[in-house]
């Protein structure tokens, strides 16, 4: 049955896109469920990092079910690309554990995530030009910033898949894993992030996005203001104390 399954490991929420008979395509209520579960993870104070992967080892997701696009069912949902863009507006880091083919809306989601881990059998596709549709969800504006601009342009113009090893060389992928190991490698990253101050992690993410959207000077102003605020909070006191006492810090994220 097509679904988005969820489980929690410590401070990490893991969402799995499950529709293997259609290469984990989003059909029915899957996109709405996906958005709801991302929102739930964002609002759960016990969750510090979200990891999203696909079921099996063939596909992360092939994006929207094209039958629903052709029938108009996708447009009638009024969701648009909101579920796949959601990581950009979340305070918490979202990691894509890309275990196979990652096409169309799934590429939008991967692009929207903060970090990306891919297995060596993964491939990235932007099929819009082949389908007579403009690539959306930040592909035109942001994809050339996440990898070599000329390679991003080639990916969109040709609609030919980009292999994981090349995506790694272009800088789009943070870590390259063996087949079947994308989730495990993503969890290594997630655990490292979850052990740090959630307040500072959220502030770093917000500042990086601010710099990307508004430029270097607004980001510098943000640093100066937010750094002074955070250094007065409990996490800063705990971090310094833990360092001096040679122990692991226990961050709460509060004031």
249 domain residue, yes or no = no
Distances (CA, A) of 191 to 143, 188, 195: 27, 5, 6
59 domain residue, yes or no = yes
Shared domain check, 220 and 131: no
Which pTM was predicted? 0.95
Looking only at Cα atoms, what is the longest distance across the chain? 63
Structure-block tokens of residue 141: 């504006």
255 domain residue, yes or no = no
Shared domain check, 174 and 67: yes
Report the interhelical angle of 216-230 vs 198-214 (nearest 10°): 160
Give the ranges where the chain is alpha helix by DSSP (H): 30-43, 66-71, 73-76, 82-85, 105-112, 128-131, 139-146, 149-158, 164-169, 182-194, 198-214, 216-230, 234-244
Shared domain check, 88 and 18: yes
Shared domain check, 53 and 25: yes
CB-based burial of residue 154 (10 Å sphere; 0-12 exposed, 13-18 middle, 19+ buried)?
Answer: middle
Shared domain check, 210 and 112: no
Structure-block tokens of residue 89: 């507006």
252 domain residue, yes or no = no
pLDDT of residue 66: 81
Shared domain check, 32 and 116: yes
pLDDT of residue 68: 74
Closest CA to 123 of 100, 141, 139, 143: 100
Per-residue confidence of the chain (255 residues) as pLDDT tens digits?
899 999 999 999 999 999 999 999 999 999 999 999 999 999 999 999 999 999 999 999 999 988 877 766 666 567 889 999 999 999 999 999 999 999 999 999 999 999 999 999 999 999 999 999 999 999 999 999 999 999 999 999 999 999 999 999 999 999 999 999 999 999 999 999 999 999 999 999 999 999 999 999 999 999 999 999 999 999 999 999 999 999 999 998 866
Closest CA to 102 of 79, 126, 82, 120: 126
pLDDT of residue 30: 96
Report the interhelical angle of 198-214 vs 234-244 (nearest 10°): 120
Residue that finishes a domain, picked among 179, 194, 209: 194
pLDDT of residue 51: 98
Bridge partners of residue 8, in order along the sequence: 13
215 domain residue, yes or no = yes
Distance in Å from the first CA to the final CA of the chain: 44
Shared domain check, 202 and 182: no
Shared domain check, 165 and 143: yes
131 domain residue, yes or no = yes
93 domain residue, yes or no = yes
For residues 216 and 112, give the distance between their C-alpha atoms in angstroms, rounded to a whole number: 20
For residues 143 and 133, give the distance between their C-alpha atoms in angstroms, rounded to a whole number: 17
Q: Are 209 and 90 in contact (CB under 8 A)?
A: no
Q: What is the dihedral of CA 159, 165, 169, 171, to 10 degrees?
A: 70
Q: Which domain holds residue 214?
A: 198-244
253 domain residue, yes or no = no
* 38 SS3 class: helix
Shared domain check, 133 and 188: yes
Shared domain check, 240 and 190: no
Shared domain check, 204 and 189: no
Pairing, β 3-9 against β 12-18: antiparallel
Q: Are 51 and 90 in contact (CB under 8 A)?
A: no
Shared domain check, 210 and 184: no
Q: What is the CATH number of the domain that holds 68?
A: 3.90.226.10
Closest CA to 193 of 67, 50, 5: 50
What is the number of structural domains in the chain? 2
């Amino acid at each position: 049955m097509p679904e988005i399954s969820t489980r929690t490991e410590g401070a990490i929420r893991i969402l799995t896109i499950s529709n293997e008979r259609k290469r984990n395509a989003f059909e029915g209520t899957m996109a709405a469920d996906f958005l709801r579960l991302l929102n739930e993870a964002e609002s759960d104070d016990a969750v510090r990092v979200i990891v999203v992967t696909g079921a099996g080892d063939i596909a992360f997701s092939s994006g929207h079910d094209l039958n629903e696009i052709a029938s108009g069912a996708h447009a009638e949902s009024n969701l648009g690309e909101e579920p796949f863009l959601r990581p950009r507006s979340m305070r918490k880091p979202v990691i894509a554990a890309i275990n196979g083919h990652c096409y169309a809306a799934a590429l939008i989601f991967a692009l929207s995530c903060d970090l990306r881990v891919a297995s060596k059998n993964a491939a990235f596709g932007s099929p819009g030009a082949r389908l007579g549709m403009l690539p959306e969800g930040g592909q035109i504006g942001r994809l050339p910033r996440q990898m070599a601009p000329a390679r991003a342009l080639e990916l969109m113009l040709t609609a030919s898949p980009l292999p994981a090893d090349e995506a790694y060389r272009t800088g789009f992928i943070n870590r390259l894993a063996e087949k079947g190991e994308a989730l495990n490698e993503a969890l290594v990253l997630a655990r490292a992030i979850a052990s740090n101050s959630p307040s500072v992690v959220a502030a770093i993410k917000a500042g990086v996005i601010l710099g990307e959207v508004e430029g270097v000077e607004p980001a510098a102003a943000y640093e100066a203001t937010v750094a002074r605020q955070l250094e007065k909070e409990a996490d800063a006191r705990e971090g310094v104390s833990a360092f001096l006492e040679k122990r692991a810090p226990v961050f709460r994220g509060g004031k």
